[in-house]
Amino acid sequence: MSKGFCPKANPIIFIAQMLDDITTGNTKKDGKNFSFWFVGRIEKWCKENNIPFDAKRYGLRNTEDIEIKWGIYKKGDVRNLWASNSDKTAMSILIRGDFTFIFRKADNHEEQREVRLVNEGDYAIWRENLEHTWRMDADSEILTLRWSQKEYK
């Protein structure tokens, strides 16, 4: 008698159903059409970029709950425009490199704060009311996540 898990239903059907619950890929390849974003509002991003949307192909990557970006940048890269996060809280984690954020409030451009991520694992979390820009002080890789903030009582 086998000690492993064996579903009583038809194992071929079970495996097919289980495989629909798994999405795999490569962040660099999967994010190339969406400015490095590889998890998030894929269906919306496809429409914005005139890319056919295939729910089976994008699988669990297509979600309204979280957005994930694997950013790859070269030393000297600069974001020249201020970006907001619309309705999302965001977090960026330094994988490798040297990355400086500049933040300001959307309604007060006088006050700014620089945050430098220089050690692997350094991170910054910011709310949706902040605008940001950045510069690369070395070749860098950054993992960025965005999500809707819920109020906890």
CATH code, 80: 2.60.120.10
In a domain, 42, yes or no: yes
pTM of the model: 0.81
Asked if 35 and 109 sit in the same domain, the reply is no
* Count of domains forming the chain: 2
Q: What is the pLDDT along the chain (153 residues), one digit of tens a residue?
A: 445 555 555 555 554 555 678 899 999 999 999 999 999 999 999 999 999 999 988 999 999 999 999 999 999 999 999 998 678 899 999 999 999 999 999 888 899 999 999 999 999 999 988 999 999 999 999 999 999 977 655
With helix as H, strand as E and coil as C, how does the chain read? CCCCCCCCCCHHHHHHHHHHCCCCCCHHHHCHHHCCEEEECHHHHHHHCCCCCCHHHHHHHECCCEEEEEEEECCCCECCCCECCCCCEEEEEEEEEEEEEEEEECCEEEEEEEEEECCCCCEEEECCCEEEEEEEEEEEEEEEEEECCCCCC
